[in-house]
């Protein structure tokens, strides 16, 4: 039997030191804690299907250029923050100016804000001690971030338009990037954040992200996550969300596959009456891989969660969904709904889905459903008998599978990008012979 | 218009049609009646081009072309329309989007300019009134949550939109109450034209009170065993299929 391999120490060496003391200390602690980290294998439960796609060679350990040229964000996006290889680039960004809203890069933080950032990171759900047998590679982010963004909304502050965070990774040579985003939304504040992950170049790189949301009482935060990175990018992202009383969090994620895409989304409903809605769409083709792991913890009573994920896998690609709902003992009157539907477009594609429910309260409503199917032949015949091309009929039916979720994305530019990506996907998945 | 000679067809190796012959000329309305399991629906599916059915022998020509050589969508574009006995529900695809794609596929094939969304909406609203469907149905998913009668009216509405040369109605009368039957029959009668043929497949005579056919055929064990005028349907209604020495083939097969 092959002996377990550990994470190379090269992956624990950050490049720069341009951070406030509190964050440098935190980063140092993380690196120490991860020394000798055993890399996941197919026997690692939460990496069962993805471990074989993980290829961390030493040449990927180095930080990608922190001064790479930054393309200015498109005007039609409105408010933007551009990050290149995990480093904030104010000159390419268009920050909103709004009283009660502060957007600061880590290197600019004063001592008080740096302490807040360090607290948010050390309380981050993704960095909680891992269960035995599970490895969370996103913990690497904490040991390696070179920069990051702290977004603070004072109570009652409402940002009128979405804030686009454009994460550009330059894959012109091997290396890795560690974008880190912290959002502290005060009581009754409102914000929509779009995380847009893109890349250029075709070398093997790793993008390892952390995003943390902290929602005060009555806060309303929408998070949109779009991943259109290139094929050679190994993406491992973690989003952690803590919600206080009567807050609402919505997440819309759209992912196109790559050599490895992994997103862990962990929501804790900590205050009574909090609610979250998590939507996800994934499409994969050729030999791509995409793995979504979600966890929703009902900690307090009277919280609602609603989760809908759809995967479509073509060719020999592989999509994975693991959805865990954990209802704590005190979380009476919890209402949790989880649905995962999957569409296999070929016999060579693979989809694995696993709902997990852990319920310790006795007065809860908890429903889950998972299906895997193919395009319905009767439906195709019906459409084709009305004169449609078989290809168009298949596209229409495939689109119908995810339409509802794409339409719900509250940001027009993201819907447009999603449609463009989906059309390219259809062009390749349904080539006319 | 349509000429079927010695047609044999099977599904999953089960032989259903056993040498069926039928000639339909332009402008004619034909009704095919027959007991359950006699092959009525198979005939309609084979003509529309469902690949689940294999034609093992015989030939079918449509306006001189070999119909069996044409792909399903080509048959539709050449003017064959099948109103399904069980229209499929397709959530997520709006009726309007589907119908417009369909109409434009036909128009493109015939070199006619495609309709834009506004033009099509206007046309679709008019036609939906003709079959007494609330235009709100256009915005819903294709047949999604429609009642049996609404689905059948939606089928007739599609026929009115697509203006086929040959409309095949597969038990379009089943599951309809008397008012809905009248609406559907009015729609079908509106389709009658000198250059259009209609093939109605039905179990009951009552549809033929509203849509009077030129010819009535009785199908049994995959063959037409008797043909006649409208009076044949009345005779069948009065005497039952037993009169022709045949029994319900589903029942018979189960014995």
Lowest pLDDT segment from A101-105, A166-170, A317-321, B250-254: B250-254
Closest CA to A187 of A100, A111, A252, A306: A100
Q: Does B94 touch chain A (CB under 8 A)?
A: no
Q: Are A343 and A373 in contact (CB under 8 A)?
A: yes
CA distance A432 to chain B (A): 14
- Please report, for residues A271, A300, A377, the alpha-carbon distance to residue A364 in angstroms, rounded to integers and kept in the order given: 16, 12, 39
Q: Does A375 touch chain B (CB under 8 A)?
A: no
Residue with tokens 């296999």: A344
* Domains with residue ranges and CATH for chain B: 2-87+164-254 (3.40.50.300)
* Closest CA in chain B for residue A405: B92
User: For the whole model, what pTM was predicted?
Assistant: 0.88
pLDDT for the residue B248? 55
Helix or strand run (H / E) with residue A324:
strand A318-327
3-state secondary structure of B194: coil
Name every chain B residue with its beta carbon within 8 A of the beta carbon of A386: 76, 98, 102, 105, 158, 162
CA angle B137, B138, B140 (to 5 degrees): 65
**What percent of chain A is predicted at pLDDT more than 70?**
96
Contact state of B102 with A387 under an 8 Å Cβ cutoff: yes
Residues A223, A224, A230, A236, CA torsion sign = positive
Neighbour-count burial of B117, counting CB atoms closer than 10 A to its CB (0-12 exposed, 13-18 middle, 19+ buried): exposed
Q: Residue A215 pLDDT more than 90? A: yes
Contact state of B98 with A383 under an 8 Å Cβ cutoff: yes
* Closest CA in chain B for residue A381: B50
Name every chain A residue with its beta carbon within 8 A of the beta carbon of B93: 396-397, 399-400, 403
Residue B217's beta-bridge partner residues?
B32, B227
Closest CA to A261 of A286, A241, A231, A239: A231
Phi, psi (deg, nearest 5) at residue A97: -110, 120
**Segments of chain B with pLDDT less than 50:** 251-255
pLDDT for the residue B251? 46
Contact state of B105 with A386 under an 8 Å Cβ cutoff: yes
User: Angle B95-109/B117-130 helices, nearest 10 degrees?
Assistant: 110
Name every chain A residue with its beta carbon within 8 A of the beta carbon of B87: 382
Strand A205-215 vs strand A248-256: parallel, antiparallel, or unpaired?
A: unpaired
pLDDT for the residue B101? 93
Phi, psi (deg, nearest 5) at residue A274: -75, 150
Listing DSSP states for B50-65 in one string gives -TTEEEEEEEEEETTE
Contact state of B52 with A377 under an 8 Å Cβ cutoff: yes
Q: Residue A130 pLDDT more than 60? A: no
Residue A355 binned pLDDT confidence (cut-offs 50, 70, 90): very high
Residue A134 binned pLDDT confidence (cut-offs 50, 70, 90): low
Strand A335-344 vs strand A304-313: parallel, antiparallel, or unpaired?
A: parallel
Mean pLDDT calculated for residue range A38-63: 89
Contact state of B101 with A389 under an 8 Å Cβ cutoff: no
Q: How many CB pairs under 8 A join A and B?
A: 71
Choose among A378, A384, A396: nearest Cβ to B72. Answer: A384
Determine which of A281, A387, A405, A407 to mutate to test the interface with B (most B C-beta atoms within 10 Å).
A387
Q: Give the E-state strand segments of A149-219 in sequence order.
A: 149-153, 163-170, 175-177, 180-185, 190-200, 205-215
pLDDT for the residue B201? 94
Contact state of B72 with A385 under an 8 Å Cβ cutoff: yes
Choose among B72, B101, B141: nearest Cβ to A381. Answer: B72
Name every chain B residue with its beta carbon within 8 A of the beta carbon of A385: 48-50, 72-73, 75-76, 82
Strand B14-24 vs strand B2-11: parallel, antiparallel, or unpaired?
A: antiparallel
Q: Does A384 touch chain B (CB under 8 A)?
A: yes
pLDDT for the residue B173? 87
Choose among B52, B91, B101: nearest Cβ to A388. Answer: B101
Choose among A376, A388, A397: nearest Cβ to B73. Answer: A388
- Please report, for residues A127, A291, A420, the alpha-carbon distance to residue A322 in angstroms, rounded to integers and kept in the order given: 19, 8, 27
Q: Are A103 and A109 in contact (CB under 8 A)?
A: no
How many helices and strands, by DSSP H and E, does chain B display? 9, 12
pLDDT for the residue A432? 56
* Closest CA in chain B for residue A379: B88
Q: What is the pLDDT of residues B61-97, one digit of tens each?
A: 999 999 999 999 999 999 999 999 999 999 889 999 9
B98 torsion bin: left (phi>0), alpha (psi -120 to 50), beta (else): alpha
CA distance A317 to A319: 7
pLDDT for the residue A128? 54
Q: Residue A131 pLDDT more than 60? A: no
Q: Residue A37 pLDDT more than 90? A: no
Q: What is the pLDDT of residues B121-138, one digit of tens each?
A: 999 999 999 998 888 889
Closest CA to A226 of A428, A429, A411, A430: A411
* Closest CA in chain B for residue A378: B88
Q: Does A382 touch chain B (CB under 8 A)?
A: yes
């Amino acid at each position: 039997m092959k002996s377990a391999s550990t994470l190379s120490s090269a992956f624990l060496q950050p490049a720069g030191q341009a951070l406030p003391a509190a964050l440098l200390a935190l980063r140092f602690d993380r690196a120490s804690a991860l020394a000798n980290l055993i890399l996941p294998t197919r026997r690692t439960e939460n990496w069962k299907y993805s471990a074989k796609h993980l290829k961390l060679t030493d040449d990927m350990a180095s930080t990608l250029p922190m001064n790479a040229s930054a393309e200015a964000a498109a005007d039609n996006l409105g408010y933007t923050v551009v990050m290149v290889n995990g480093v904030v680039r104010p000159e390419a960004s268009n920050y909103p100016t709004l009283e009660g809203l502060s957007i600061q890069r880590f290197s600019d933080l004063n001592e008080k804000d740096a302490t807040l950032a360090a607290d948010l990171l050390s309380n981050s759900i993704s960095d909680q001690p891992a269960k035995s047998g599970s490895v969370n590679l996103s913990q690497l982010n904490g040991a390696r971030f070179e920069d990051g963004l702290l977004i603070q909304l004072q109570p009652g502050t409402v940002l009128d338009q979405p804030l686009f965070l454009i994460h550009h990774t330059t894959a012109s040579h091997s290396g890795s990037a560690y974008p880190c985003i912290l959002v502290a939304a005060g009581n009754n504040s409102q914000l929509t954040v779009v995380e847009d992950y893109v890349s250029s170049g075709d070398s093997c790189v790793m993008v390892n992200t952390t995003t943390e949301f902290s929602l005060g009482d009555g806060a309303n935060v929408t998070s949109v996550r779009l991943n259109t990175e290139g094929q050679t990018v190994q993406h491992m992202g973690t989003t952690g969300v803590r919600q206080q009383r009567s807050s609402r969090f919505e997440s819309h994620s759209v992912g196109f596959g790559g050599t490895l895409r992994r997103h862990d989304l962990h929501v804790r409903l900590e205050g009574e009456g909090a609610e979250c809605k998590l939507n996800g769409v994934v499409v994969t083709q050729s030999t791509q891989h995409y793995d979504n792991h979600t966890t929703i913890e009902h900690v307090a009573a009277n919280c609602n969660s609603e989760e809908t994920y759809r995967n479509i896998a073509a060719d020999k690609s592989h999509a994975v969904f693991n959805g865990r709902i954990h209802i704590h003992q005190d979380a009476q009157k919890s209402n949790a709904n989880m649905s995962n539907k999957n569409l296999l477009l070929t016999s060579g594609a693979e989809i694995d889905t696993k709902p997990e429910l852990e319920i310790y309260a006795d007065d809860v409503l908890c429903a889950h459903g998972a299906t895997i199917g193919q395009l319905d032949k009767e439906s195709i015949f019906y459409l084709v008998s009305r004169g449609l091309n078989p290809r168009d009929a298949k596209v229409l039916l495939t689109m119908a599978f995810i339409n509802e979720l794409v339409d719900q994305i509250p940001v027009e530019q993201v819907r447009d990008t999603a449609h463009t990506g989906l059309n390219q996907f259809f062009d390749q998945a349904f080539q006319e012979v | 218009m349509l000429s079927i000679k010695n047609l044999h067809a099977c599904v999953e190796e089960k032989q259903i049609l056993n040498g069926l012959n039928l000639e339909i000329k332009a402008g004619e309305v034909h009704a095919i009646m027959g007991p359950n399991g006699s092959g009525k629906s198979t005939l309609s599916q084979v003509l529309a081009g469902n690949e689940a059915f294999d034609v093992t022998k015989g030939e079918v020509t449509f306006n001189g072309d070999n119909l069996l050589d044409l792909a399903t969508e080509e048959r539709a574009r050449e003017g064959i329309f099948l109103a399904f006995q069980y229209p499929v529900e397709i959530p997520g695809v709006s009726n309007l989007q589907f119908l417009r794609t369909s109409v434009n596929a036909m128009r493109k094939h015939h070199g006619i300019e495609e309709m834009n969304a506004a033009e099509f909406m206007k046309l679709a609203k008019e036609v939906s009134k003709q079959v007494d469907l609330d235009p709100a149905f256009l915005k819903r998913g294709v047949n999604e949550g429609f009642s049996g009668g609404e689905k059948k009216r939606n089928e007739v509405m599609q026929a009115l939109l697509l203006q086929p040369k040959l409309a095949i109605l597969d038990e379009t009368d089943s599951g309809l109450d008397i008012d809905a039957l009248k609406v559907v029959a009015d729609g079908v009668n509106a389709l009658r034209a000198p250059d259009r043929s209609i093939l109605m497949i039905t179990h009951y005579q009552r549809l033929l009170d509203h849509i009077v056919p030129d010819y009535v055929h009785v199908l049994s064990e995959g063959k037409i065993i008797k043909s006649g005028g409208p009076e044949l349907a009345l005779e069948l209604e009065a005497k039952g299929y037993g009169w022709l020495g045949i029994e319900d083939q589903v029942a018979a097969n189960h014995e």
